[in-house]
Amino acid sequence: MEITALQKKHIELFGNSNPLTVRSPGRINLIGEHTDYNDGFVFPAAIDKAIWFTASKNDKGLFRFFSMDYSQSFEMKANDLSISNVAWANYLLGVANQFKKKGYQLSGVDVVFGGDIPIGAGLSSSAAVETGFAMVLNNLFGFGEPNMEMVKMAQKAEHEYAGVMCGIMDQFAIVFGKKQQAIKLDCRTLDYEYANLNLTGYQIILVDTKVKHSLTSSAYNQRRQECETGVKILKNYNPDISALRDVEMALLREHKNEMEETVYRRCKYVIEENNRVTEAFEALHQGNIRWLGELMMETHTGLRNDFEVSCEELDVLFDFAKDFYGVIGSRMMGGGFGGCTVNIVAQSETERFASEITKHYKQTTGNKPSVYKVTIEDGTGVVD
């Protein structure tokens, strides 16, 4: 989205010709799926698709928002901040309420926002809105909250105003992202390290299934429960275990017969996936992008066979990509049952890949996927 379009709209609606401008990107997760709620590791990066904000104060004591994507206005008194019946506005109101809870005084704010993060593709457009608006308020009013605190506030806003009990990865990756860097995040301690993502000769391509199966939330809760069941059993043999993060594969195998086969496979996947994140970090430090690609392929196989959160459409894309000349890595990304695959493709083969996977997917499923090239960019920040 052209930033000039937002600025023009801001002048048109609110008359302020010099608003604060903030960019807040989407994110991908290279590897480390369903590890976050098991106190494990994830390996995300911020991307070049983003939500943009123009913002200025007003003296009317009102929050006045305009969504470019929905072509819709919203207004509420700054001292109200109750949950509204406009879904998109709640992401902003939830963030404002976090500042209010900290004792900050919020007066009137005018905001225009919009962007090019595809909705529903699993690129965290909602977290981009939350973190972006946190950055807007923090800078507009000079509150001085550190980035990590804004990440936590954005996460709480999603919990309380959108009713989604998300982990912290999305908001974290979006704020702390760096150009050409992936971040290994410890979901237990929030310690993090950067690794140089040198993609010379390769391109990250996302292929969106355009489906989201309805069993997502119930299956997600069930997987969490199965992981917790495994922990409960293994804790009897090592009281220091509080999450699958603490479990060695040898211990799991030793007590396999004491748990249902399904619980065993769920735990096996999570332990292996945590190890893969550590290996992926090492692969990038060695500049070995092919190793990262191999690990991604292993992740998809684990998510399909052991964790069972893939679906026919995702598998169609993965099975095509893994045998395609020039693809060195592919996997489903996100919670599962829809969304997109993330693929690492040789630069010379990107056009052929995009064309042929689109054709294959349409022939196989009857639906047309969306294909996006993405690059790794900086996280949320004020634009001069």
Question: Could you tell me the domains of the chain?
Answer: 3-197 (3.30.230.10), 202-374 (3.30.70.890)
> CA 84 to CA 87: how far, in whole Å?
7
Amino acid at 340: C
Residue 114: the pLDDT is 96
| Residue 120 confidence (pLDDT) | 76
Mention every residue, 6+ apart, whose C-beta is less than 8 A from residue 110: 10, 13, 14, 16, 19, 55, 56, 57, 58, 64
Q: How do the pLDDT tens digits run along the chain, 384 residues long? A: 678 899 999 999 999 889 999 999 999 999 999 999 999 999 999 999 999 999 999 999 999 999 999 999 999 999 999 999 999 999 999 999 999 999 999 999 999 999 999 887 888 899 999 999 999 999 999 999 999 999 999 999 998 998 877 789 999 999 999 999 999 999 999 999 999 999 999 999 999 999 987 666 788 889 999 999 999 999 999 999 999 999 999 999 999 999 999 999 999 999 999 999 999 999 999 999 999 999 999 999 999 999 999 999 999 999 999 999 999 999 999 888 999 999 999 999 999 999 999 999 999 999 999 999 999 999 999 998
pLDDT at 3 (0 to 100): 82
- Residue 216: per-residue pLDDT: 65
Query: Rg of the Cα trace of the chain?
Result: 22
Q: What pLDDT was estimated at residue 215?
A: 63
pLDDT at site 167: 81
Q: Which helix (H) or strand (E) holds 316?
A: helix 312-322
pLDDT of residue 163: 82
* CA pair distance 150, 138, nearest whole angstrom: 9
Between strands 192-196 and 181-186, the pairing is: antiparallel
Catalytic residue among 170, 208, 246, 306: 170
Look up 170 and say whether it is catalytic: yes
Q: Is 22 exposed, middle or buried (0-12, 13-18, 19+ CB in 10 A)?
A: buried
What is the spatial distance between Cα 228 and Cα 233, in angstroms, rounded to a whole number? 9
Q: What is the CA angle 109-115-120, rounded to 5? A: 115
